[in-house]
Structures are given as structure tokens and as C-alpha cells.
């Protein structure tokens, strides 16, 4: 017997492929309206107007779309970050918003650790030099390598992912500093890092800086020219959080060219896929001056098959709870 549909849930976007997993979790009384695009200008207003809830992955969601969500009880994002969602417009429309904080934490932490260790050990630089090995097959051909228990890692943002990174760093013996004005006193003891009270301090004291805070008005450009200049000479930078924290590729290029920044590993860029900046050109073309000192991955730190299932299941459960109980878990306010 066909179950009558009680609700309509909108799902974006084509990154989902087919919303079969969501259909299973949402149940038979939910009709899914699948918007197979990340381009919100292509969202049909009449279809938006019929939605009881909306699930969003890569799409932006701004006031033109939000103004058509007449009966929507909640918007749920598949991911953790929500800088592409106009929270103020949702609040004005009286529509609550939730993110999906508890998926893929382990994956992002592993990705950051892989980046930290491979840059700390200068794997890519050694690989590049050893390939042309008449001059490069030398044990000490690069800048000095510090033993991990003589190096300091600065973790900026010690929330879920930052904490998972701290826990992974401990067995290596690194000194671990943490900067996170949002965490209460005592958090550093509970997690096991040394608390630093000012951004400038953690930048100045760390050999390796790893970013794990969201993109907000406070954090955008925290490592622009000024922030980069505050780093220790020869520091390493890892960004698996958001590209907007760096933002200024001119400044990043200058810091790498001068050697003030020894190396950087980046999973997120302000523009994705990356554009035509000269630094990106040098990276694509493996230019000698940069070779092995800039590693870029395509915003896939979160990804594993397990995390993808976890992400989709958790987000759909959040919607099901909303439809059944009128309660939105993981709610985020502007
Ligand atoms: N690359 C990826 O695939 C991927 C995947 C998931 C999340 N992320 C990014 O990682 C970020 C962190 O995720 P999370 O799950 O740990 O989030 P979280 O909310 O658990 O932790 C973020 C922490 O950042 C802190 N923070 C806020 N403003 C700060 C500031 N000005 N300086 C220092 N710390 C500040 C907060 O107090 C919080 O403790 C997300 O916001 C998202 O942008 C990236
Ligand atoms: O924030 C997240 O969960 C991850 O970065 C993946 O989400 P996004 O790439 O869609 O923002």
C-alpha cells in the first residue's frame, strides 16, 4: 500500500548524486524534491514555496531563495561550516537553521595531521629534490629539521576538530599551544594543551600553525599579510578550515617566496576550484622555487565513505526529528 505523503523536503545538490539514503531515513511519508544543482538562481520559486524543510550541501542560500520558503520549518546544512548561508535572512523569515557538526571530525583531524607531519618532515621537498638526484640526493640538502618533541604546534580553534588534532599530536611529543577565545578557562587542562590568550602570541611562538576555526567576521583574513608577518621565520602553515582565513594569495606568495613561510598545506581556498593566481600557477607547474613547499587538496579533508554516509544520515535524521517533534537539533543562530 502506498503511504500518503505528509511532507515535502527539498534536497540540494548534485554532489549528493541520488538522495536514496535520505529517502530511507526520512521515511515513506516524505516526498523528496531534489534540486540537482548548487546554483541557487536555478531554484524554482514554486517548488521552494512547497517545502516543509530544506537540506543544503554546496549551494549558497541567500534572501532571494529564502523569501520563497513560505512553509519551511527549518533549513539543515549537510556540512559543518555555514558561511554560505544567509543566517540573518533566515532569522528575518522566522526559519531556524542547523548545521551538521558531528560527522567527519576524525577525517579532518587525520588530514591535518598528515599535512603537519609531511611538511614538518619536508616529504614533498625531499621527494622533489631526490627526483633530480644528481644534486638532490643529499641527507641534509634542506633547512634543518627539528625533532618533533623540539617543535611547537599552534592550534587555532580548539573545538571538535581542533581537539581531535591535539589528541593526535600528543604521542609525537610536540609542544601544543591552543588559541580559542570561545573556550572556557580549564578547557586547556581537560584537552591537554597550553592556552595562549592572543592570536599574535600563538603565531609568534609556533613552528607549525594549524587552523580549525570557522570563517566569521573576526577570523576572515586572520592570516593575511599582517598575520603571516607575525609567524616565526621558517614556520609551516596548515589550513583545513576555511580559505577565507587566509584570503590574500599575494601575501601567501610573498611569504613563501621570501622563505619567511617555509611551507603551507591547504585544503580550503577562498575560491574553489582554485583560480589563476600566479602562486597557483607556480604550484600547478611545479616551479622550482616552490616545489614541494605548497600542498593543496581539493576541500576533501572531511571525506571518507564512512563520513559521507554519516553526514547524509545525520542531516536527514535532523530533519525527521524536526518534522516529528518541531525541534531542530544542532540549531545555529546568527
Ligand atoms: N576541510 C573540510 O573538509 C572541513 C570539514 C569540516 C569542517 N571544516 C571547517 O572546520 C571548522 C571547525 O570545525 P569544528 O567541527 O571543529 O567546529 P567547532 O565549532 O567545534 O570548533 C570551532 C572552534 O573555533 C573557535 N573559534 C571561533 N572564533 C575563533 C577565533 N576568532 N579564534 C580562534 N578560535 C575561534 C570556536 O570557539 C570553536 O571552539 C568549521 O567551521 C569548518 O569551517 C572543514
Ligand atoms: O564544513 C564542512 O563540513 C566541510 O568543509 C564540507 O562542507 P562544504 O565543503 O560543503 O562547506
ipTM, 2 dp = 0.97
Under 8 Å between Cβ of 273 and 247: no
Q: Is 24 designated active site?
A: no
Mean pLDDT of 264-289: 94
The per-residue pLDDT for range 64-118, each reduced to its tens digit, is 999 999 999 999 999 999 999 999 999 999 999 999 999 999 999 999 999 999 9
* Catalytic choice (111, 129, 242, 293): 242
Residue 4 contacts by C-beta under 8 Å, 6 or more apart in sequence? 29
Query: CA-CA-CA-CA torsion for 20, 26, 30, 31, nearest 10 degrees?
Result: -30
**Cβ atoms within 10 Å, residue 228:** 23
Out of 106-120, 130-144, 301-315, pick the least confident. Answer: 130-144
The binding-site residues of ligand 1, defined as CB within 6 angstroms of any ligand atom, are: 80-81, 101, 104-105, 108, 156-162, 179-183, 212-214, 216, 218-219, 240-242, 267-268, 299, 301-302
Please tell me the pTM assigned to this model: 0.95
Closest by CA to 237, choosing from 176, 154, 171, 299, is 154
pLDDT band at 201 (very low <50, low <70, confident <90, very high): very high
Phi and psi for 132 in degrees, rounded to 5? -100, 65
Residue 136 pLDDT: 67
pLDDT band at 146 (very low <50, low <70, confident <90, very high): confident
Q: Which three cell numbers stand for residue 181?
A: 577565545
Answer yes or no: is pLDDT of 22 > 80: yes
pLDDT band at 143 (very low <50, low <70, confident <90, very high): low
Residue 142 pLDDT: 65
Give the N- to C-terminal CA distance of the chain in Å, as an integer.
44
Mean pLDDT of 119-141: 82
Q: Where are the alpha helices (DSSP H) in the chain?
A: 20-26, 45-49, 63-66, 87-92, 105-120, 123-131, 133-136, 160-169, 187-191, 199-205, 225-230, 249-258, 278-284, 305-325
Residue 4 carries which DSSP code? P
Strands 194-195, 208-211: pairing is unpaired
Q: Probe ligand 1: pick from 83, 87, 182, max atoms within 8 Å of CB?
A: 182
Residue 25 contacts by C-beta under 8 Å, 6 or more apart in sequence? 312, 313, 316, 317, 320
pLDDT band at 134 (very low <50, low <70, confident <90, very high): low
Q: Probe ligand 2: pick from 55, 60, 76, 79, max atoms within 8 Å of CB?
A: 79
Distance CA 77, CA 334 (A): 14
Q: Which residue has the cell 577525517?
A: 107
CB environment 48-64: b (16+ within 10 A), e (fewer): bebbbbbbbbbbebeee
Q: 3-class DSSP state for residue 155? A: strand
Distance CA 33, CA 265 (A): 38
β-sheet bridge partners, residue 266: 239, 296
Question: Which residue's CA is the closest to the ligand 2 atom numbered 3?
Answer: 79
Q: 3-class DSSP state for residue 274? A: coil
Mean pLDDT of 46-54: 98
Distance CA 142, CA 218 (A): 36
Distance CA 224, CA 244 (A): 10
Q: Indicate the average pLDDT of the chain.
A: 94
* Catalytic choice (272, 286, 287, 306): 272
Answer yes or no: is pLDDT of 1 > 80: no
Answer yes or no: is pLDDT of 140 > 80: no
Residue 219 pLDDT: 98
For the sheet with 208-211, list strands across it: 194-195, 175-179, 152-156, 208-211, 235-239, 261-266, 294-296
Mean pLDDT of 245-265: 96
Under 8 Å between Cβ of 210 and 236: no
Amino acid at each position: 500500500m502506498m503511504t500518503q505523503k505528509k511532507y515535502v523536503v527539498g534536497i540540494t545538490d548534485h554532489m549528493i548524486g541520488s538522495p536514496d539514503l535520505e529517502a530511507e531515513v526520512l521515511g515513506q511519508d516524505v516526498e523528496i524534491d531534489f534540486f540537482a544543482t548548487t546554483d541557487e538562481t536555478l531554484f524554482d520559486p514554486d517548488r521552494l514555496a512547497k517545502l516543509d524543510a530544506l537540506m543544503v550541501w554546496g549551494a549558497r542560500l541567500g534572501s532571494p531563495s529564502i523569501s520563497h520558503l513560505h512553509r519551511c520549518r527549518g533549513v539543515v546544512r549537510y556540512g559543518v561550516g555555514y558561511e554560505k548561508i544567509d543566517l540573518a535572512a533566515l532569522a528575518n523569515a522566522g526559519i531556524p537553521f542547523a548545521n551538521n557538526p558531528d560527522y567527519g571530525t576524525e577525517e579532518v583531524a587525520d588530514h591535518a595531521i598528515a599535512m603537519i607531519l609531511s611538511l614538518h618532515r619536508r616529504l614533498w621537498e625531499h621527494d622533489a629534490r631526490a627526483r633530480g638526484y644528481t644534486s638532490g640526493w643529499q641527507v641534509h640538502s634542506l633547512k634543518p629539521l627539528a625533532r618533533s618533541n623540539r617543535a611547537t604546534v599552534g592550534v587555532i580553534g580548539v573545538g571538535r576538530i581542533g581537539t581531535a588534532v591535539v589528541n593526535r599530536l600528543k604521542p609525537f611529543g610536540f609542544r601544543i599551544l591552543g588559541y580559542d577565545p570561545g573556550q572556557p578557562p580549564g578547557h586547556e587542562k581537560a584537552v591537554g594543551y597550553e592556552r595562549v590568550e592572543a592570536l599574535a602570541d600563538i603565531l609568534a611562538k609556533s613552528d607549525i600553525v594549524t587552523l580549525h576555526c570557522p570563517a566569521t567576521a573576526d577570523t576572515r583574513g586572520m592570516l593575511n599579510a599582517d598575520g603571516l608577518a607575525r609567524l616565526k621565520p621558517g614556520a609551516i602553515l596548515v589550513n583545513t578550515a576555511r580559505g577565507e582565513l587566509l584570503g590574500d594569495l599575494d601575501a601567501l606568495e610573498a611569504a613563501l617566496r621570501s622563505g619567511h613561510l617555509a611551507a603551507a598545506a591547504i585544503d580550503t581556498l577562498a575560491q574553489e576550484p582554485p583560480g589563476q593566481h600566479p602562486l597557483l600557477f607556480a604550484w600547478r607547474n611545479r616551479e622550482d622555487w616552490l616545489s614541494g613547499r605548497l600542498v593543496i587538496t581539493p576541500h576533501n579533508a572531511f571525506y571518507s565513505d564512512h563520513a559521507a554516509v554519516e553526514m547524509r544520515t545525520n542531516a536527514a535524521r535532523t530533519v525527521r526529528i524536526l518534522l516529528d517533534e518541531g525541534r531542530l537539533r544542532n540549531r545555529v543562530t546568527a
